[in-house]
Chains A and B, each alone.
Chain A
Amino acid sequence: MAELNYRSLLETNNYLRTLSDTTYWLCITRTVQESKLFPMNPYMLLSYLNSFYRLPTLLREIDAATPAEELGDRAREVSLKVDTVNAAWGMPAFYLIGREMLVNWGLLRPGDAVEDVVDVLDFSRRFNLAYHRTDGHITNKEFGDRSQFLPERTLQVFEADLHGVTPGDRLHTAATKLVAQLSQYAFLAHCECRIGLHNSGPYNFGEGRQLIVRDFFDLTEGDYPWLDGIATRLPVNNLTIPIVFKDTNFHLMDDWASFEAEPSYNAANIAAVGMYTSDALTDGYVPVGMDNADTLAETMEQYREILNEATADLWKRIATWTREQMIDAGALVYSSVAKDFAHLAGTYRQEDWLSLDDRVQRFKPLMNDEYGRDNLGEMVGLLGFPHQKTSEYSMARYSGLNQNMLTGIPYSVLTDDDYAPTAGSTLSGSSSLPAKNGLWTTSAGRIDLDEYNRRARGFTPAVLQGANRYRDEEWVKWHHGSAEADELYRLAQRGSRNLEGRGSGLRRADLPGAVEGTSGADR
């Protein structure tokens, strides 16, 4: 794994510094996290520590089974929880913030765990490069706060198959109500944090329209033990809802998947919607209720009813939790942002991702609400820890101050030897939450974990098999209409109501409905 030399350290520190600047910008341009229900700041801090102690070991196992760049390819073709906010930003940032806490407490020096830091950031960089391959940027921030990872073949299917809506019609109403319910439920199921929802785009859909893709993850029985028995009538665990807006410019889609638009998000400007699902076992997006507008509206109404009931059920369950249970659940939600890598690789074990490490448990008594608030604010907002200072001559990217959120690795580790290269690979932990007893909801049905892992290990999507994997947008530009390109596009067109079997030669003008200037069916 880690090759410790000058080059690898230079690359590691470059990525670390980029994350430091970007994370500071994200923190100061968004609001404080607060909840009267969940002690959020204590659980966030504990989650960072859990990431520090556990992530390197878990990622090494995953990387050995399925390399990070292949995982990036998988995530690019669908919407999975290993997305921008969870995996591309959260996973490395949480790990590094945990490291920062320990340095501040004097329990770690910057050279310690250097092999872990190099491995985590190397994994993250390779994942991000592949995940963002279509647009060629490693982060949304680097791309000017845009997120456009989907290939043309997928977007063409969306454009052709989405159903047109007008405000007040049945589908428009069903879609806006479902998105609201999904957002509400996702915040609750994820203990007040936003990692259960995701947004990407915008994509240019012509005629003054833009597409954003809204994703919702871990909706029913799966990894989180508190979702056992919740929303079990829902047949899918993840939903993707592409939404086309008219007369709205989404000028920001940041690495927290927050969007800003001009004029602001307004459901009255929604012009078309669709619904899909995907998970570690799907070969691309699977349409959900997409046969016609009525079926889609009916499906959305059913799902909305199920999730409305589930929100009340789950809220009542959580309302009975002790403070420690709330903290454990929140900490585990955060520290497990990379768990779906293990699902993709078929290496998922419940105790790996849903236990708070013994090395973390020792800090719990410190985590009263006040210390949690002040420590977090100092570390990621004020950057007031003494070790976060740099030379008086330096001016950081966004603050202009001589302060960095994340501490670099000193190059002296190449010559000095008084540091410990790794935090170790022995994992032992626990949780105050009830044990998980339910099944896992997947596109292959509700199955147990052994079956889920077995299926995942034996599965590679067709668009990533053989030479297909390297047939990117640049290749398509020069080979559209060839047998190979047609085969690739037909894979994405499987199940499409309007493009099944059409191949690679389509332009926007060729899509159904485009002749009338309203590209896409049912508009």
Chain B
Amino acid sequence: MRALAARRFAATGARWKDVVFERQFDLFSLADARAVEQEALDEGYRFDFSATVSLESEPDKYKCPERETPAFTDGGTNADGRRQVGVGDNVIRKSATVTGPVARISRIEQVMGYLADGIPEGTIAVIDDSGGTLTAPIIEGFAGVICLGGTVRSHLGILAREYDVPTLMNCKIDTLSDGDVVELEVTAAPPAADAYETGDTGHARIWLVGNEG
């Protein structure tokens, strides 16, 4: 873009001050932006997506998400025979752990379904998104939340605190299927104020208790 703008300016033969705003669409136009995008797409490049609407509305421009690989693999088994399947940062310290079946929430349609049918009691949501809007109308109905991104200061962390929903942020988990019953160690201390600078995070553990299916 810089090179294009420089070439266009040189071609004007005018002084910069007479071009920068007066002829700004000559330097870079909507057609130029489209051409930049098209050039990348023509070379076979596909963009990472952040919002699901991008992937759904422009599937030819974005990469489909690759099959996930487990991000947590070093969990052991405790004395009760439960296997550790993840770690995270506890938002609100509770007096007891929370146990329930997990449900992965990543799409508008799922939220719409929960809005219509209600959330099964005890559900622990697994959410990729540390924002506060995808699950806005239903967050209060979860028994717990495992968030795979963000920190305790993210929007979802703020809302978890306000709604008093047991929540672990910044989680790394092994593969979990819908219906797997997990126990969240929300009795763990929340990260210290400087934890994200020192890397001293991930002290709350997630245990696989069983599978409802």
Listed in ascending order, the chain A residues whose CB lies under 8 Å from chain B are: 30-41, 104-109, 112-113, 176, 179-180, 183-185, 187-188, 191-192, 194, 258, 260, 264-267, 311-312, 315-316, 318-319, 321-323, 326, 359, 361-366, 368-373, 417-420, 422-424
Question: Complex Cα distance A64/B170, Å?
Answer: 48
Is B25's beta carbon under 8 Å from chain A? yes
Residues from chain B with a CB closer than 8 A to the CB of A107 are 5, 20, 24, 27-28
Residues from chain B with a CB closer than 8 A to the CB of A185 are 136
Residues from chain B with a CB closer than 8 A to the CB of A369 are 47-51, 54, 62
Question: Complex Cα distance A36/B131, Å?
Answer: 7
Is B98's beta carbon under 8 Å from chain A? no
Q: What 1/0 mask marks residues of chain B from 41 to 75 whose CB sits below 8 Å from any chain A CB?
A: 00000011111111001100110000000000000
Residues from chain A with a CB closer than 8 A to the CB of B27 are 107
Residues A366 and B54 in contact in the complex (CB < 8 Å), given A36-B106, A107-B24: no
Residue of B nearest to A191 (CB): B133
Question: What is the CB-to-nearest-CB distance from B17 to chain A, in angstroms, rounded to a whole number?
Answer: 5
| Sampled A-B contacts (5; CB under 8 Å) | A105-B1, A106-B1, A112-B21, A311-B136, A371-B47
Q: Which of the segments B154-162, B171-179, B204-212 contacts the partner chain?
A: B154-162
Question: Complex Cα distance A184/B149, Å?
Answer: 18
Residue of B nearest to A112 (CB): B20
Listed in ascending order, the chain B residues whose CB lies under 8 Å from chain A are: 1-3, 5-6, 15-18, 20-22, 24-25, 27-30, 32-34, 36-37, 47-54, 57-58, 61-62, 92, 106, 108, 111-112, 115, 128-134, 136-137, 139-140, 149-151, 153-155, 158-159, 161-164, 190, 193
B136 and A315 contacting across the interface, CB-CB below 8 Å: yes
B33 and A364 contacting across the interface, CB-CB below 8 Å: yes
Residues from chain B with a CB closer than 8 A to the CB of A316 are 112, 115
B129 and A34 contacting across the interface, CB-CB below 8 Å: yes
A365 and B131 contacting across the interface, CB-CB below 8 Å: no
A180 and B37 contacting across the interface, CB-CB below 8 Å: no
Question: Complex Cα distance A359/B85, Å?
Answer: 50
A373 and B21 contacting across the interface, CB-CB below 8 Å: no
Pick the contact of A362 from B16, B21, B29, B137 — CB < 8 Å? B29
B190 and A366 contacting across the interface, CB-CB below 8 Å: no
Question: Complex Cα distance A105/B29, Å?
Answer: 13
Question: Complex Cα distance A272/B1, Å?
Answer: 56
Residues A362 and B30 in contact in the complex (CB < 8 Å), given A31-B154, A37-B53, A371-B47: yes
Pick the contact of B153 from A113, A258, A368, A424 — CB < 8 Å? A258
Question: What is the CB-to-nearest-CB distance from A256 to chain B, in angstroms, rounded to a whole number?
Answer: 10
Question: Complex Cα distance A109/B16, Å?
Answer: 9
Residues from chain A with a CB closer than 8 A to the CB of B140 are 180
B48 and A362 contacting across the interface, CB-CB below 8 Å: no
Residues from chain A with a CB closer than 8 A to the CB of B129 are 34-37
Pick the contact of A363 from B33, B62, B149, B159 — CB < 8 Å? B33
Residue of B nearest to A368 (CB): B47
Question: Complex Cα distance A194/B20, Å?
Answer: 34
A184 and B159 contacting across the interface, CB-CB below 8 Å: yes
Residues from chain B with a CB closer than 8 A to the CB of A35 are 50-51, 129, 131-134
Residue of B nearest to A421 (CB): B17
Question: What is the CB-to-nearest-CB distance from B137 to chain A, in angstroms, rounded to a whole number?
Answer: 4
Question: What is the CB-to-nearest-CB distance from A202 to chain B, in angstroms, rounded to a whole number?
Answer: 16
What 10 A-B pairs come out closest when comparing CB atoms? A35-B131, A180-B162, A106-B2, A36-B129, A370-B47, A187-B132, A365-B33, A362-B30, A370-B48, A369-B50
Question: Complex Cα distance A113/B131, Å?
Answer: 35
Residues A192 and B132 in contact in the complex (CB < 8 Å), given A180-B159, A183-B158: yes
Question: What is the CB-to-nearest-CB distance from A175 to chain B, in angstroms, rounded to a whole number?
Answer: 11
A419 and B17 contacting across the interface, CB-CB below 8 Å: yes
Residue of A nearest to B190 (CB): A264
Pick the contact of B133 from A180, A187, A418 — CB < 8 Å? A187
B106 and A368 contacting across the interface, CB-CB below 8 Å: no
Residues A192 and B131 in contact in the complex (CB < 8 Å), given A364-B33, A368-B37: yes
Pick the contact of A36 from B5, B32, B134, B161 — CB < 8 Å? B134
Question: Complex Cα distance A253/B158, Å?
Answer: 15
